[in-house]
Structure 1
């Protein structure tokens, strides 16, 4: 540590710290445009000028390393005049279109011009004009406003790993451009909007729709992938206007993937807003009482072993535990939350968690990815892997079809047989020599006939590498959705003599209750099975239903979710569900009354007490309890197949019900993959 004096106050900072960091330790606010703590230092906006003793001129604090005994002034006359001059230059060509700019009211340039700029301008000439660039359906550009801070260039190159932006020209002719005019090829494009300090990059889907002071802000969590990114939902009246990331260093840092950010327009498309009952082969509107009675009539005389339930990947823990309790009261042990048929052993938590934790990726020095494409399955987590790789601290190997992960990796053979022989390969030597090796198993590797053998093989490999110790657990399963781990924690899997998903679909039950299970092919359900679909969109599950119960989406209810690392988080209601739709656990509570098996809770607090009673991990919100290593391995039978792995997501933008219902995601899919938008039911 070294000592630095800032405005007469002595502070201690680590060796190698910059003057800007020293000023922040001292509690001084330093204006900046180009500097961002997660990006490389550019030092090109000069707004962060400070005065250093014995320096002939002000210095850019973001790029100036401090030395022991250095004295810094942040508010001297020299600094004030320097900042005013810099601001005057920045505004020379910046248009005065604040009244129509979507960034108005939350613009760094506006705020700092008022705080640090002068009270008049000497500029009288015409401002320059810069043509706008096309960056795709998500990011709108008004390049006249650009101040060449290069944050977007550095983000796309360093964080997203897609170096498609850069600068051309010099001086007044300098422009930020994407070289070839096409959509950005990254799943993190929306973060460019957040880091732009002016209105040059804004959100195209919601352009000219809002002012920030009109919006109600609700803190919540995302469930469209298993990272559990912390988000802020901005709404106006009954409408969600935008979704922004919240900073959580251990989960998503300050980034958010594009599908969770922009797919909320699905809330207005093909929603289920009233109960439906199939009569004479046609689905017809019904009251809640009629829908529940139709289920009760069908259940008469049906034994518990002929009743089954499937929970979808977006279901909150409250609704999952309510459905489990209802099925138990009806005498059924036919439960499954693995819509993809993944061979996951739910007997111990460490068998299905990302045990390293998301933040723990930055401690690993070797990674073997088995049957997963984290770039599409969890873009924010993939960015964390890329950061560690680009720091030179991690070597990555991939067992699966070759894909662009945005970072260098060794492509191994694409079949599970490679897993069996990896220990004797060159990359096996890399894993053995690593101090903190990781193995990442994707859901696609487990949703196969030999999925149980793959899981057991990956576990055995981790043990042979000494990757599971008291101080380090390198065995990881990467899930796809935010509700999958919570359902596993609640034991929503076949009980004693219970049937799994395959058996239930193949005629093993007479009544099948689907709780938001939209990833199941309805054609696999045996004809004659009575299907109750409870969900929020008229998607795959609803197409086969005999009774439809309209539920609420994750943005329309208070819910508990567990991310892929086992972190319990709470989502909060931002808007109300449409029409007669209700929260899912309340629907199940009302149904249980009509079915003659009333559930013993009426309030959300009581349901959450039930969660803790079923599994104590739900008592620790925003915590990742470390599982104690015990003996034994996941149950795995059979031999590894030679069939190559297949990734579960091929079209990132349509990977879930929100993506399939979103018009914005349809545009992105057409731009990226050339896919046509799906036809509406009426078409």
Structure 2
């Protein structure tokens, strides 16, 4: 980086060439006040608060838009600068309502702080009443009840355009009539929209769930890690009276920069839900739930596990854990099962292909750092709704596309990712592996190389033009390329074929292959050994009925891909234990519920998709008599007289469960002997996504997130081709049925769905009766 020398307030300093004066002077410890400037946004230079004096310039200049030059002499505290800053503050306060005592931004307001530091003690403006701007309804997450406070810094507008990728807010009117508004009264629905609250320097945009709940000086701040996706977003949890009152970003440039997604920001409501458990519960002979002591609860679990193990064998005991379980929880529950003599355990609750472990030779991970994503030249994303599954990684890809990267998508729903897409191909899930096979065939033909026998009789079709474009982009020399496998692709019943075909293509073009991965701790589940050690392709824990189940942090009906089937199996079991924070997740199937602490009330470790281990502590004490899961497993291990359960802290467990060299086990090596194609003889195929605010129990308990459009009750979405085949019209009420059950839905016309695809969201009680996410369905019209 080339450095140049400038003089700031009489001191000579070296600063990077090309930086603006705000960036340059910050390195010297000199603060220049500002409102509209933000280091992650483009320069607007419209607040004029950052005016500075530059030698040889006839007037003061905005520091945010003034680029440093060799030998530049700058004054940030001269009389001329102070007068200019004083005038800007006075101008901003002409129409700003002086309602600091009732403003939610009070105590953390930039205008408030800078008015004290750079403004006058008394306003000269007495001519007329201040202007009034009518409040806006931006949806259930952002409050715009006091838009009269807006100072038109346009940070929120620029954030939408440049970071979120969609312009949801804009400026209407001119001069004194200017105001920030949505278009045609729409809601703000971006999955990153809550960051506008942090960016707003005044109290115009505030958090609707947090509104009037607390003052900033009443809150203590503690760091934590998000459990909702594989990014491992760093959070600042703000605490009042021993409950989480608000969540904001903790800046970490290598992970989440200074942003968080809305599900990370507003999921804290689920931590304070009335559905939370505070005592162990036992279902008596009459089917009633009664509170019992921890000693009695643990004794019942131990005696029943021993009884089932002795009567039927330990292999009749199984364990399922959510992907947001910590490394320590995975390790101890796995150790508990191992000591009992059972290998029936898994955390991959949406896995449908038993060959998956044979295809991926190591533990799947992203294969690069998050920052490296921005440096890619060509990217192929397979089977992922990026904004839904990985909001902050979608932002990284958006930045890559803005820098000239070619981003291609192969998926089963043509969702708008707010990325400048170079090409997108949409087919039903069972055909994605065929598309990758065709891509390899086209590439081999371009290279004049032999085609493997598995692909010899593969016919190229209407997708050939786009696939040829993709193949040619991957063949360009000296380009950084990557193939990223998404959540849906790993969940498919033929995912082994898909991943093998993707690996084969990656080998041909010498491209990186990476997995975006489910949950906060998918890699932690692998490292901890929380999966079957035998790799034979046989019935998994999710298919075969067992006599006893231990289920951690999960609602099997909603979180397991075929919830209807696993729930039926669990209900037939003799004794099942739920380690859950919520009553509703277990009341219909468990024999005993042990209240465990969510991530905010326990300590542990998550490993994100780039292989970074991050430990965290509880930010509040456990609710009522609930306990951290690792303590419960240690108690059970001791009661069962198993060795190695005498841990007194999660740090000691981490030392054993997470070896220093765990990254050596991360590998995306693919066994390409599984390449091939399968024929799909069924006509209509379900396409199911996991909605962004319903991917785990904490999110489903958040009231505000459940009021968003993304959490609306599902319908049957299908395109014109499929509507005509089924002789339906948009708006018809239909009965959709599978081998597991049937549901009644409204048919909605949606051209984003591929031919023969029936798009029905998962993780809703109203659709879980259909079974798996990729079942073949029958549809019949119901007469009104």
- After TM superposition, the score normalised by the length of structure 2 is 0.80
Matched ranges for 1:139-178 at <5 A: 139-141=142-144, 142-178=146-182
Q: Secondary structure at the match of 1:386?
A: helix
Deviation at 1:678, TM superposition (A): 8.4
Q: Aligned pair in 2 of structure 1 residues 342, 159: CA closer, same or farther (>3 Å)?
A: farther
Q: Hey, what's the Cα distance between the residues in 1 that align with 2:529 and 2:158?
A: 44
Match of 1:273 among 269, 278, 294: 278
Q: Secondary structure at the match of 2:136?
A: coil
2:641 matches 1:607: no
**510-519 or 536-545: bigger deviation:** 536-545
2:152 matches 1:115: no
Decide whether the 8 Å contact of 1:532 with 1:545 is kept in 2.
yes
1:510-555, Cα deviation, whole Å (9 max, x unpaired): 2221111321225242543232111111244453112211100011
Q: Hey, what's the Cα distance between the residues in 2 that align with 1:487 and 1:348?
A: 15
Q: Hey, what's the Cα distance between the residues in 2 that align with 1:151 and 1:539?
A: 41
Match of 1:20 among 2, 19, 22: 22
Decide whether the 8 Å contact of 1:400 with 1:646 is kept in 2.
no
1:645-672, Cα deviation, whole Å (9 max, x unpaired): 9776353222221121121112114786
Matched residue, 1:666: 706
Q: Aligned pair in 2 of structure 1 residues 310, 187: CA closer, same or farther (>3 Å)?
A: same
Matched ranges for 1:571-590 at <5 A: 571-590=616-635
Matched residue, 2:373: 361
- After TM superposition, the score normalised by the length of structure 1 is 0.92
Q: Hey, what's the Cα distance between the residues in 1 that align with 2:702 and 2:36?
A: 34
Matched ranges for 1:553-564 at <5 A: 553-564=598-609
Match of 2:301 among 295, 298, 301: 295
Match of 2:328 among 318, 323, 345: 318
**235-244 or 399-408: bigger deviation:** 399-408
1:281-336, Cα deviation, whole Å (9 max, x unpaired): 51432222222232233232142222221111221111111111111111112221
Structure 2 residues not aligned, in runs of 5+: 443-467, 716-744, 746-762, 767-784
Matched ranges for 1:635-654 at <5 A: 636=674, 639-640=677-678, 642=680, 649-654=689-694
Q: Hey, what's the Cα distance between the residues in 2 that align with 1:356 and 1:640?
A: 31
Q: Aligned pair in 2 of structure 1 residues 674, 35: CA closer, same or farther (>3 Å)?
A: farther
2:168 matches 1:130: no
Decide whether the 8 Å contact of 2:361 with 2:670 is kept in 1.
no
Q: Hey, what's the Cα distance between the residues in 1 that align with 2:197 and 2:388?
A: 20
**158-167 or 116-125: bigger deviation:** 116-125
Matched residue, 1:452: 496
Matched residue, 2:349: 339
Q: Aligned pair in 2 of structure 1 residues 549, 346: CA closer, same or farther (>3 Å)?
A: farther
Deviation at 1:356, TM superposition (A): 1.9
Deviation at 1:238, TM superposition (A): 2.4
Matched residue, 1:484: 522
Q: Hey, what's the Cα distance between the residues in 1 that align with 2:266 and 2:669?
A: 44
Matched residue, 2:474: 431
2:582 matches 1:546: no
Deviation at 1:80, TM superposition (A): 0.6
2:193 matches 1:189: yes
Decide whether the 8 Å contact of 2:155 with 2:199 is kept in 1.
yes
Q: Hey, what's the Cα distance between the residues in 2 that align with 1:647 and 1:62?
A: 48
Q: Hey, what's the Cα distance between the residues in 2 that align with 1:15 and 1:85?
A: 31
Q: Hey, what's the Cα distance between the residues in 2 that align with 1:123 and 1:398?
A: 60
Deviation at 1:71, TM superposition (A): 0.9
Decide whether the 8 Å contact of 1:398 with 1:412 is kept in 2.
yes
Q: Secondary structure at the match of 1:454?
A: helix
**527-536 or 347-356: bigger deviation:** 347-356
The root-mean-square deviation of aligned C-alpha atoms, in Å, is 2.6
Matched residue, 1:513: 550
2:278 matches 1:235: no
Match of 1:397 among 409, 424, 443: 409
Q: Hey, what's the Cα distance between the residues in 2 that align with 1:526 and 1:600?
A: 28
Q: Hey, what's the Cα distance between the residues in 1 that align with 2:266 and 2:661?
A: 31
Matched ranges for 1:513-532 at <5 A: 513-518=550-555, 519-520=559-560, 521=563, 522-525=566-569, 527-529=571-573, 530-532=575-577
Q: Hey, what's the Cα distance between the residues in 2 that align with 1:651 and 1:327?
A: 32
Deviation at 1:594, TM superposition (A): 2.5
Q: Hey, what's the Cα distance between the residues in 2 that align with 1:565 and 1:211?
A: 37
1:399-458, Cα deviation, whole Å (9 max, x unpaired): 332111011221114231111112422211112226111111112112122111212222
Structure 1 residues not aligned, in runs of 5+: 468-473, 619-624
